[in-house]
Amino acid sequence: MSNLARSYQTQPIETSAQPKPKRLREGRTSVITPGEKILLAAFAIMFCFFAVKIVSNEASIYQVNRELQVAEGVIDKQEKANTDLKIQVSELSAYDRILDKAKELGLNLKDKNVKVVEE
């Protein structure tokens, strides 16, 4: 008797019936790791800080420019007033006007006593 003549009945192995080993930790797996979350939060904080810093710098620059324009306006106004006063001085110090005022006050012109002063 040979072993070949004997037929064994094989039972089909059911792979789906076997329970799968369960994972110890079940749950959602995040695409972003905790280290990446920390880096992302640090980047967001730095971005907000620099955005606020830039806006505050621009506001201070605007304020300084505004004060500069006001000062330039005051300077222009004062220069115009100075120019007007110089013109008025030159008109009031004209020789003919001084001579007329002197005659009104009773002064007379003697050629011997006149001295020419040049600036």
Asked if pLDDT for residue 88 goes beyond 90, the answer is yes
If 0-12 CB within 10 Å is exposed, 13-18 middle and 19+ buried, where does residue 2 land? exposed
Please write the tens of the pLDDT for every residue from 15-52: 565 566 666 666 667 788 999 999 999 999 999 999 99
**In angstroms, what CA-CA distances link 105 with 28, 29, 98, 109, 115?**
110, 109, 11, 12, 20
Dihedral Cα 53, 59, 60, 63, nearest 10 deg = 180
Question: pTM higher than 0.75, yes or no?
Answer: no
Going by the DSSP 8-state scheme, the letter that residue 112 receives in this structure is G
> Which residue type occupies 34?
P
- By residue count, the chain amounts to 119
- Residue 106 has a pLDDT of 86
Q: Is pLDDT of 111 > 60?
A: yes
> To the nearest whole percent, how much of the chain has pLDDT over 90?
50
What is the C-alpha to C-alpha distance for residues 63 and 41, in angstroms, rounded to an integer? 33
> Of residues 29 and 6, which shows the higher confidence score?
29
List, for residues 48-61, the tens digit of each pLDDT value.
999 999 999 999 99
